[in-house]
Amino acid sequence: MVKVTEDKIISKFQKLDEYLSNLSQLKKEIKNEQDFLNDFHLYGLAERYLQLSCQIVLDVVDLLIIGEGFKKPEDRYESISLLYNRGIVSENTASKLQGISGFRNILVHEYGEIDRKKVYEVLQNQVKDLEEFKKEILKFIERI
């Protein structure tokens, strides 16, 4: 991988840190699921920062595939699997991130009604998966 690609990934992760920090602070402000569902400020911010965070993960996946000269996968699901198959991310991380592209697409394109309960669940339980992805990618970059 060339230095420019590494630098782009590091830059993306700096933004991810900002978004994850914002999401962490947002989680502290939420008393319970019902408050979240009833407050457009809370769910609007959560949706936006989750969308941006998911996009960064997908961008980093693309940068790694290009930077490592891997054959371009058919779709986003295959991209995550490719990183697992090449030993870049763990099986656990790959399985947790398989649906990230679909979730991002729902947030961006609003296919039907956005399920705010799902957004709440992701905020409460899956944000840490994005942090784990970042750690695994940084560990991979250090090895090369």
Helix then strand then coil, in percent of the chain rounded to 5, is: 80, 0, 20
Q: What is the pTM of this model?
A: 0.94
Divide the 144 residues of the chain into consecutive groups of 10 and give the mean pLDDT of each group. Answer: 94 98 97 96 97 97 96 91 96 94 87 86 96 97 89
Q: What is the rounded distance in angstroms from the CA atom of residue 61 to the CA atom of residue 80? A: 7
Provide the domain count of the chain.
1
> Range of 15's domain?
3-143
